[in-house]
Structure 1
Amino acid sequence: MRQLLSALSYFSIFFAPFLFPIIVWIVARDRYIEGHAKRALFSHIFPFIAAIPLIYFFVTAQSVASAFGFVILFFIIYGLSFVYNVFKGIQVLREYA
C-alpha cells in the first residue's frame, strides 16, 4: 500500500497534478509516503515556478525567434518533469517487487 500511494503521487501528473500529492501529504501518517508526496508535489510545481522568469523573458523578448525559444525551453522543462514523474513512479513500484 505504501508503494502504491507513493507511486500514485508521481503518476498523478496524468490526472490531478497538484491536488492528489497535497491530499496524500496531508492525510498520510507514514513518513515514506509523505516524503514521496512532497517530492511529487514539488516536481509537479517546478515547471510552473521555472516559467515565471521565462514569462518575463518572453514578454521582454526583442524578436519573435527569442520568444519562441523561451516557449520551447518551457516545454523542455515541463517534458523533463513529466518523464521524471513517470520514472520515479515506476521506480517506487519496483522497489519491493
Structure 2
Amino acid sequence: MRQLLSALSYFSIFFAPFILPVIIWILCREDAYVAMHSKRALLSHILPFVAALPLLVLTFGADNPGSVLGYIILFIIIYFGTVIYNIVKGVQVLREYA
C-alpha cells in the first residue's frame, strides 16, 4: 500500500497535480516513506508553474518576440522533463519492493 500511495503521488501529474499529493501527505504524515515521496511529487508538480511565471512577465512586457519564443521553448522542455521525471519515479517506487 505504501508503494501504491507513493507512486500515485507521482502519477497524479496527469489528473490531480496539486490536490492528490497534498491529501496523501496530510493523511500519511506518520509514514515517513509516503510523506517523503508525496512532498517530492508536490514539488515536482509545482516546478513547471513556477517556471511559467517569468513567461507571463515576458509576454506582457517584452519588446523582442524572440526572447518570448525562447522562453516558451525552455518552458516546454521543463514541463516535459518534470512529466518524465514523475513517470520514472512512480515506476521506480512501484518496482522498489516488487
Give SS of 1:13's match. Answer: helix
The two structures have a TM-score, normalised by structure 2, of: 0.91
Q: Which runs of 4+ in 1 moved over 6 A?
A: none
Which residue pairs with 2:10 in the alignment?
10
Give SS of 2:14's match. Answer: coil
Structure 1 gaps, min length 5: none
For the 8 Å contact 1:58–1:66, the answer to whether it is kept is: no
Give SS of 1:12's match. Answer: helix
Structure 2 gaps, min length 5: none
- Matched AA of 1:23: I
Alpha-carbon shift at residue 70 of structure 1 (Å): 1.1
- Matched AA of 1:32: Y
For the 8 Å contact 2:22–2:42, the answer to whether it is kept is: yes
What fraction of aligned residue pairs are identical, expressed as a percent?
A: 60
For the 8 Å contact 1:43–1:85, the answer to whether it is kept is: yes
Which residue pairs with 1:49 in the alignment?
50
How many residue pairs get aligned? The number is 97
Alpha-carbon shift at residue 11 of structure 1 (Å): 0.3
Computed over aligned residues only, the root mean square deviation of the Cα atoms, in angstroms, reads 1.2
Which residue pairs with 1:69 in the alignment?
70
Which residue pairs with 2:96 in the alignment?
95
As a proportion of its length, which structure holds more helix? Answer: 2
